[in-house]
Amino acid sequence: MTALLYLVPAALFLGLLGLGAFLWALKSGQFEDLDGAAERILIDEDEPDSAAADQAKVRPTR
């Protein structure tokens, strides 16, 4: 039963990690444009100023 002493905290920690990651993704606007995210992988981004950089610049208005 001593295994519980580290298994239970480990399970909870991993769960919290997932929850934290989801809340962070929600907060950083990754759920704003789900259709767009699906299509954007089709764009060849050879230009240096890529879309990813722009997301950070446009979003803070909200």
Partner 1 sequence: MTSLALSPACCGPGAAALALAETPTLTAGPAVDPAAFVRRETDGICRLDLMAENIHCADCIRKIEGALRAFPAVTAARVNLSGRRVAVAWRDGEVEPMRLVEAVTRLGYPVAPFDPALLDERTKAADRELLRCLAVAGFAAGNVMLLSISVWSGGSDMDAATRDLFHWLSALIAMPAVAYAGRPFFRSAVAALKARSLNMDVPISLGVILAASASLMETMHGGLHVYFDASVTLLFFLLCGRYLDRQARAKARSAAEHLLALTAVGATVIEPDGRRRSLPVAELLPGMILAAAAGDRIAADGLVASGSSDVDNSLLTGESLPVAVAPGASVHAGALNLSAPLEVRVTAAGENTFLAGIARLMALAEQGRARYVRIADRAARLYAPVVHILAASTFLGWLLFSTAGFHGALMAAVAVLIITCPCALALAVPVVQVVASGLLLRRGILVKSADALERLAQADSIVFDKTGTLTEGTPRLVDGGAIPAEGLRRAAALAEASRHPLAQALAAAFEGPRPKATDVVETPGAGLSGTVEGRRLSLGSRAFCGIADRSASDDRMEIWLHEQGSVPTRFVFADRPRADARATIDMLKRRGYRISLLSGDREAVAARIAGELGIEDWRAGCLPADKVAVIESMAAARRKVLMVGDGLNDAPALAAGFVSMSPATASAVSQTAADFLFQGRLLAPVAFALAVARGTERLVRQNFALAVIYNLGAVPIAIAGLATPLIAAAAMSSSSLLVTLNALRLKRLGA
Structure tokens at 48: 């240096």
Query: What is the chain's alpha carbon radius of gyration, rounded to the nearest angstrom?
Result: 18
**Integer Cα distance of 26 and 48 in angstroms:** 27
Q: How far is the CB of 33 from partner 1 (least distance, A)?
A: 4
Residue 6 or residue 42: which is nearer to partner 1 going by CB?
42
Interface residues toward partner 1, by CB under 8 A = 1, 4, 8, 11-12, 15-16, 18-19, 22-23, 26, 31-36, 39-43, 47, 49, 51, 54-55, 57-58, 61-62
Q: How far is the CB of 6 from partner 1 (least distance, A)?
A: 14
Positive or negative: CA dihedral 24, 25, 28, 32: negative
